[in-house]
Amino acid sequence: MTRKIILLFCLLFTRLCLFAQGDVQMADTMRSNGKIFVVVAVIITIFAGIVLYLIRLDRKLTKLEKNNYNS
């Protein structure tokens, strides 16, 4: 019984992987219209904001740890 379930999951997983190989029509449309650059710019802006936030947070935590260690 468990062999059948494992085989079923393996077959379903390979079927899902085949769907991932298909063409992405939305990306082709956005690329042809030149809007893909807007999407990339927004993603880069969000990623840069998160990175800068984490750097500031790390510096504040380091400062608090030093103050806590010294007192």
The domain ranges of the chain are 22-70
Residue positions counted in the chain: 71
Q: Alpha-carbon distance 55 to 38, whole Å?
A: 26
**pTM as predicted:** 0.57
- 2 compared with 52, residue with greater pLDDT: 52
- Let me know: does 30 contact 39? Beta carbons within 8 Å: yes
pLDDT in tens, 12-71: 777 776 665 666 677 777 778 888 888 899 999 999 999 999 999 999 999 999 998 887
